[in-house]
Amino acid sequence: MSFWNRVRLLRKSAARRQRSRGNLTIMTGLLVLPSAIAIVMAIEIVALNNERAMMQSAADAAALAGARDLMVSGSSRRNAKNFAERFALSQVGSFAERAKVAFVATPEQEGVFAVDGFAARPSFFGSLVPPGGFRIQVRSVAENMVRQPLCILRQNEALAENAISGDGSAGLNARGCVVHANGDIILKDRARVTAGTVRTSGTSDGGTISPTPNVGALKIPDPFSARTINPPKACASVPDGGTDVWKQGILTLPPGMHRTQFVMRGTSIMKLLPGEHYFCSPSIFSDNSRLEGQDAVMMLIEGELTVRAPASTSLKGRETGTWAGFVIVASRTNASPVSFLSPNVDELLGTIYLPNSNLVVNSPGSIAEAAQWSVIVAHRLIVSSAAQLIINSDYEGSPVPVPIGVGSNVGGANDVPLRLRQ
């Protein structure tokens, strides 16, 4: 075989080998491509399932939170809706940065709260598979078994101090109703809070709180923010009665303006006749003196109210009129405390409203135990020493009506107050 024939044979052999390698590369590529697509799809499906589960968990938590807020008489449906939507969005974390995420909360019929969640995110191959990317849709429906009455509210949201505080062996007993703090609940020593539901927009610490408080709850606005005290005249225009000290006898006060500092001692009694009583000066009770009134409300325009041991108190709030349902009210400019420092405070029937004043309870013994029902809306509630503040919620048949915004005609605790229905 000539030289040139051998060269031609070698060239043909090399060409055949090159074609063979090319065919193998194409075949390998054709085999790998479906495997790669399958792997990508598997990863996407796992991620999609995780994202769907996260969206469902966020909707469930938000629906329960919304239903819980609607358990409180006087809670705003609109505020609960906004809170639930923000709460749900916060639960999905960085997923909201990778996808278009939205939650829509809907307070439905009494006690039912629904949250719908929607998400859309790009898929592989430029959202060609599936066309337009992945879509996630979830729904959760929660319901509360009972709408508990709101019996204690610390309403001032801006105050840096503790909303509700207790120390020693003090106790706050509000079984069957809601204790809500727009702020922190801080207890020391053996102090205890017992209620149907305990809620705080801040934190809770120390002592014993039963049941476990709902921390980070939606703040409840002042239910009486639209109310204003309109005394017949300004305190400055009322003749100054100075200081009137009683050691015995009965001081019978008609409704109206009182610009006298009353100091009740010995066995004296202050008896409030039915109506609105506007106090422009402090009132102090000590020794065995007594404060009593029926169908009456104390309007503290200026000055404090102090009941020291062993003085006694029995007050039944206003039954009719603009201030029906209230027993003690302080003006918005009055920051002086209302202090019950005696164990002989038997009855405080009605609503105590202190928008910028503290309610201080500090004395061994049960306070307000004989009252059919009580509601406290105060700047701050302080229970200390061995005092036991008893808040009853037996509204039915009471001669003192419950004001709109607090309380409820459905009292009583519920062992299973919330559940997911869907």
Element (H, E) at 403: none
Is residue 369 pLDDT above 70, yes or no?
yes
* Residue 112: how many other CB atoms lie within 10 Å: 18
- So what's the pLDDT on residue 416? 43
- So what's the pLDDT on residue 414? 38
- Polymer length of the chain: 422
- So what's the pLDDT on residue 14? 54
Contact between 55 and 119 (Cβ < 8 Å): yes
Q: Which residue has the tokens 């697509």?
A: 37
Give the CA distances from residue 121 to residues 72, 105, 195, in Å, rounded to whole numbers and listed in that order: 38, 22, 45
| Tokens describing residue 110 | 């009494």
Helix axes 3-70 and 77-91, enclosed angle (nearest 10): 150
Is residue 275 pLDDT above 60, yes or no?
yes
Strand (E) positions, 363-398?
365-367, 374-384, 387-390
Is residue 8 pLDDT above 70, yes or no?
no
In sequence order, the β-bridge partners of residue 252 are: 271
The predicted-structure confidence for 153-203, as pLDDT tens digits, reads as follows 887 655 556 889 999 999 999 988 889 898 899 999 999 999 988 888 889
- So what's the pLDDT on residue 25? 52
Is residue 73 pLDDT above 70, yes or no?
no
CB within 8 A of 364, min separation 6: which ones? 343, 385, 386, 387
Domain boundaries, the chain: 3-144, 150-419
DSSP single-letter state for residue 237: G
- So what's the pLDDT on residue 23? 52
Low-confidence winner among 10-14, 63-67, 109-113, 292-296 (lowest mean pLDDT): 10-14
The predicted-structure confidence for 384-407, as pLDDT tens digits, reads as follows 989 999 999 998 889 999 998 888
- So what's the pLDDT on residue 367? 94
Is residue 413 pLDDT above 50, yes or no?
no
Per DSSP, the three-state class of 392 is coil
pLDDT over 90 percentage in the chain: 53
Contact between 261 and 303 (Cβ < 8 Å): yes
User: What totals of helices (H) and strands (E) does the chain contain, helices first?
Assistant: 4, 29
d(CA 220, CA 79): 9
- So what's the pLDDT on residue 235? 95
Is residue 328 pLDDT above 90, yes or no?
yes
| Tokens describing residue 249 | 């006898």
| Tokens describing residue 57 | 């968990």
C-alpha angle 400-404-408 in degrees, rounded to nearest 5: 75
- So what's the pLDDT on residue 409? 40
In sequence order, the β-bridge partners of residue 284 are: 263, 306
**Mean pLDDT, the chain, as a whole number?**
85
Contact between 177 and 151 (Cβ < 8 Å): yes
- Taking the whole predicted model, whether its pTM rises above 0.75 is answered as no
Alpha carbon 347 to its chain's center: 27
- So what's the pLDDT on residue 11? 61
- So what's the pLDDT on residue 175? 86
Low-confidence winner among 39-43, 86-90, 213-217, 346-350 (lowest mean pLDDT): 39-43
- So what's the pLDDT on residue 412? 36
Contact between 298 and 327 (Cβ < 8 Å): yes
Closest by CA position to 281, among listed 299, 255, 307, 254: 299
Is residue 350 pLDDT above 80, yes or no?
yes
**β-bridge pairing 344-362 and 171-181:** unpaired
Top pLDDT among 15 and 251 is at: 251
